[in-house]
Chains A and B, each alone.
Chain A
Amino acid sequence: DAGVIQSPRHEVTEMGQEVTLRCKPISGHDYLFWYRQTMMRGLELLIYFNNNVPIDDSGMPEDRFSAKMPNASFSTLKIQPSEPRDSAVYFCASSSPSQGQYQETQYFGPGTRLLVL
């Protein structure tokens, strides 16, 4: 089975530009998570969805960040306008409550390395 797929793997952009990160969760998983990883703050949960519905977006840093999940197999995280402090690795992860022995284990995508100049 394919794991979580993220695109692009690397993104370099200039301050003020719009950035869109994409994620395809593992088929059958009904939870999707967006994390950000930086040296200063470690791994932070930004937002998560259950059955395509946002459940908790309290980790979204500010209004410049938005996330959508239009269907069970696709989610986007958008930053508009981007700033240099948004430079980080952004991970998408998915899970399912019905995983038997590994209930609710989150499986991560390879991440998107974002650099905002």
Chain B
Amino acid sequence: AQKITQTQPGMFVQEKEAVTLDCTYDTSDQSYGLFWYKQPSSGEMIFLIYQGSYDEQNATEGRYSLNFQKARKSANLVISASQLGDSAMYFCAMREGPTGGGNKLTFGTGTQLKVEL
């Protein structure tokens, strides 16, 4: 079974609109972390946002927020007020186990987001 599932290979959104990128995960660990990364066409991997499994509040970073629904095992990324520069591939990733225990990440297959005028 896939540990990280991103079911949207591609998404379109109009500039200034909000968009939600889906991510579901599978783990039996109680302690884990969820990450979102952005990969623009230039190729670098840019860290966006982090949510720990014990964090009670959804993580936010500027225009990025993570809609964390633990019971559903989902960690969707919400981008508000989309900008042309948001066009990129977005990866969801999970660290299983507690912090400090060898923090391997498993990545999803990514969602290609295109922001249109």
Contacts and interface: CB of A to CB of B under 8 A. Distances in A.
B107 A111 contact: no
A35 to B, nearest CB: 8
B45 interface: yes
Interface string A105-117: 1111111010000
Interface residues of B, number: 23
A58 B87 CA distance: 34
Interface residues of A, number: 26
Contacts of B100: 97, 103-104
Contact of A45 (B46, B104, B109): B104
Contacts of A12: none
A103 B104 contact: no
B102 A111 contact: no
Contacts of B35: 105-106
Contact of A105 (B47, B109, B110): B47
B13 to A, nearest CB: 23
A42 interface: yes
Contacts, number: 57
B44 A104 contact: no
A95 B35 CA distance: 13
Given A43-B91, A106-B47, A110-B44, A97 B104 contact: no
Interface string A85-97: 0000101010101
Interface stretch (A17-25, A48-56, A61-69, A70-78): A48-56
A48 B104 contact: yes
Nearest to B102: A55
B52 to A, nearest CB: 8
Given A97-B103, A104-B99, A110 B43 contact: yes
Interface of B: 33, 35, 37, 43-47, 50, 52, 91, 95, 99-100, 102-110
5 contacts: A43-B107, A102-B50, A103-B99, A103-B100, A111-B45
Interface of A: 31, 33, 42-43, 45, 48, 50, 55-56, 89, 91, 93, 95, 97, 101-111, 113
